[in-house]
Structure 1
């Protein structure tokens, strides 16, 4: 198994766990346990974001493109024709939300970030499919 295959496998696993956490948080939305599950989903988002951008970075390196940050990797992935402008805007917002996750002790911020996670999950699923299609 080469490194890109390993990264995309880990990316898929992380996305599946994010989906499970989102579902669980929604199931418990109107209970006293909701904040625990919401915060768990946000933590899963953090893990998923990290493996996502590292997968992009490695994919681009194999294409001869060097990027050193999530933002630059997204730009390069767009330039290579894999993303639309709308997707790039969502991904840049995702970076901002990821950077704010250290402040999720602020309830309003935790709710705002959580409200974006379903959209992020969908776009990350689409990117994962693109990456998996490049693996022989």
Structure 2
């Protein structure tokens, strides 16, 4: 698949996972199941976002290898604020811990963080990401 197509597809994946992620607070599920579903959607959204940013950075000749490295380089390129970078770093830490959650209270905290703090951040950076994708995939960019 050509680079431009990969970039567009990855952004579409991000939009789709973000939409699913944004539906968390609307789900009418038993809390335990809700927290399990939210953990999966958290993971999917995270994976798509960091890989999308990785593709954007590669297009600019700034490769990165890890999610935290990609978020840092994206911040250093001026695409997100320092506060947004720190939230994405927190997103990374939580993503790394999610597989090791064995208690209800931690799962609940992650769910509340996702709905109250992370979701608004992801929605805020979605449009600038879209503009960047459009810029990188336009005919003039070739």
TM-score (norm 1): 0.89
> For 1:89-100, what aligned pairs fall within 5 Å after superposition?
89-100=86-97
State the 1:50 CA deviation: 0.2
Q: Distance in 2 between matches of 1:126 and 1:65?
A: 23
> For 1:1-136, what aligned pairs fall within 5 Å after superposition?
2-24=5-27, 27-28=28-29, 33-118=30-115, 119-134=117-132, 135=134, 136=138
1:5-25 deviations in whole A, cap 9, x for unaligned? Answer: 11000000001011112321x
Contact in 2 for aligned 1:8/1:128 (Cα 8 Å): no
| Runs of at least 5 residues in structure 2 that lack an aligned partner in the other structure | none
Q: Distance in 2 between matches of 1:5 and 1:104?
A: 34
State the 1:93 CA deviation: 0.9
1:30-51 deviations in whole A, cap 9, x for unaligned? Answer: xxx1210121011101011000
Q: Distance in 2 between matches of 1:16 and 1:35?
A: 21
Q: Distance in 1 between matches of 2:108 and 2:123?
A: 22
Could you say what the CA RMSD is over the residues aligned between the two structures, in angstroms? 1.4
State the 1:92 CA deviation: 0.9
Aligned residues: 130
